[in-house]
A and B are shown apart, each in its own frame.
Chain A
């Protein structure tokens, strides 16, 4: 194991493992979100579960660490990669097959991160964070969602964010397997398709919530 994380592949290992961890987290997150489509009570119950379940409580700091590590190493890797080409080409790359997302993972990541900040202040800070700092959490999280997604500009921002997230996952998901070496010429296209499907499902599920509310389908908060 000595110096594994000093090597370029070792650093990528961290990116891929933390990335896969975040991909799994997204699945959990979106499953909680979609309960809002069913009923106010269901969503509030799910939120209460997230606030009180011991396993979730333990995992929250781990998740935060996962984000931190993923972001930190992306910075380290990007800086080194930039140094590998001190003089840039005057004509930008016309290579066709590499996907737009693959080439712009860092930029997309930054977009995701910015919106994440916004998102955390709007929701998480008022909900789960309160339980950690001993404050008073939102009594009716559904009401918060109802209000925020009632604003069209917030819905637009949210959709843009999720779109960025879609691109990030569609490359990151299969790329993680490639980095782990769990891949071969047969599985590269398969994993790329699985990644796309996964990214589409997650993105659609996320986007369905603001759509649901902006279309006025939500129940008025109790």
Chain B
């Protein structure tokens, strides 16, 4: 297969970026999208040019490191996958593929397609934990948890923190990311203890860091590689409003 690639190039956070075009040929349809970029990069290096910077790590869809906004969709045209699991068979031979970094005020570009997502860590540091020290905890079976609750907590906990929700939301909102953590802990008795404080602290941090607000467009849910439901956003809203009304 062959493709025309339009890729965002930006030297560093302060530099002005622009698109650069490349063409690439002889790509097997079984090649993954990132392998296609590897091939391009190795060619660029051999030609004495600078390769394209992009984030990636586990290449099996779980670490959340890869990003890329491909042809108008976060993680590209396939559903429920990250970019590293996207394969070239999802494109047509001869397609033009436009690749942009996640664009959000809270995710500054580091270089080319790599962005800084430290804002997500900061939100979790604000309250995305249960305050227990190591040791001195009760037996794992001391508190039974209804299976549906445990399952729903797991649905939310599947979030890989990739930032596709922010990238795809027209408002650059991080609500699905925040909701996934808040909702997961809110469904478990261990997390309930600090539920009110957690919702308030995490939402406040999210607002402070320059993410937009949720307007319930459901785009995040559609592009989330782990298909996390916006019902968790409803739970976050509920947790937050109930917490605030108690103040």
Q: What residues of chain B have their CB less than 8 Å away from a CB belonging to chain A? A: 19, 69, 71-74, 77, 98, 100, 103-106, 168, 170-173, 203-204, 206-207, 210-219, 221-223, 229-231, 233-242, 244-245, 247
Q: Which of A87, A90, A93, A178 contacts B233 (CB 8 A)?
A: A178
Is A180 located at the chain interface by the 8 A CB criterion? yes
**Size of A's binding interface in residues, CB under 8 A:** 47
Q: Which of B173, B221, B245 contacts A97 (CB 8 A)?
A: B221
Please tell me if the beta carbons of B104 and A188 are within 8 angstroms of each other in the complex.
Answer: no
Q: Which of B105, B168, B240 contacts A7 (CB 8 A)?
A: B240
Please tell me if the beta carbons of A81 and B219 are within 8 angstroms of each other in the complex.
Answer: no
- Beyond A1-B247, A84-B104, is A102–B238 a contact (Cβ under 8 Å)? no
Contacts of B245 in A (CB 8 A): 1, 4
Assuming A95-B72, A181-B236, what are 17 further A-B pairs, CB within 8 angstroms? A4-B245, A4-B247, A9-B241, A12-B215, A84-B171, A84-B211, A85-B103, A85-B170, A86-B105, A91-B71, A93-B73, A95-B219, A178-B216, A180-B237, A181-B241, A184-B231, A184-B234
Q: What residues of chain A have their CB less than 8 Å away from a CB belonging to chain B? A: 1-2, 4, 6-13, 77, 80-99, 102-103, 105, 171, 174-175, 178-185, 188
CA distance A54 to B98 in the complex (A): 62
Contacts of A6 in B (CB 8 A): 207
Contacts of B216 in A (CB 8 A): 102, 171, 174-175, 178-179
Q: Which of A81, A99, A180, A188 contacts B213 (CB 8 A)?
A: A81
- Enumerate 12 A-B pairs (CB-CB under 8 Å) in ascending A order: A4-B244, A8-B212, A11-B213, A80-B212, A91-B69, A92-B72, A95-B168, A102-B215, A103-B217, A103-B219, A175-B215, A181-B239
